[in-house]
Amino acid sequence: MILQVTEAQASFLTKKDPVLGELIHKVGLIHMEGKDDIFVSIVECIIGQMLSAKAAATIQARFEKAVGPVTPANVLATSDDAIRKCGISYSKISYIKGLSKSVHEGTLSFDGYSALSDMDVLSELRKIKGVGLWTAEMIAMFTLGRLDIFSYDDVALKNGIIKVHHLKSMTKKRFAQYRKRYHPYASIAALYYYHANDH
């Protein structure tokens, strides 16, 4: 899955928000490669919950070394203790093993997600134990390539908006106004705010 910002999307957002437009002009058209495998993405998101990006990457690398290719069968074949030694809590292990069991046994399938609306995709993802709204939104955006995701629970996104627009804080009402302004390309706007937060 590749999130490639187009000239048309950049132009639309610039017209909607000149301040964001200045950032888009400065950064250029963002090209970001995501993951195609929804199972792998969910596992990574569960591992990374409540962790810094650096800590999550370190633990993910240990996990992949312990498990091998991240497949349901390989996860199920790896002992809880071996996964715990990677730095993953037992609650997260139970979520990852539960997900792996459901996919491996065929009781959970991601086929047909492409035909669902954003709201329905988020709803389906949140039925998975260990997947909250933020995790579902990140998977919808970076794995499924949904173009209109704007997560209020994402601290990096909110901080990026505050930084770019020189705000003191971010209320839920104000955030909703930004989301509405950027529809139907809120995900694209979010990419630039993530960039601003990181630089």
Other Cβ atoms within 10 Å of 197 Cβ, number: 18
Q: Strands 2-4 and 31-33: what pairing?
A: antiparallel
pLDDT of residue 50: 81
Residue range 88-99: average pLDDT?
A: 95
On whether the CB atoms of residues 121 and 113 are closer than 8 A, the answer is: yes
CATH at residue 66 = 1.10.340.30
Count structural domains, the chain: 2
Residue range 168-197: average pLDDT?
A: 94
**Is it the case that residue 135 has pLDDT exceeding 60?**
yes
Q: Which domain holds residue 117?
A: 38-142
Q: How confident is the model at residue 95 (pLDDT cuts 50, 70, 90)?
A: very high
Q: Does 47 share its domain with 71?
A: yes
Taking all residues of the chain, what is their mean pLDDT, rounded to a whole number? 92
Give the predicted TM-score (pTM) of the model. 0.86
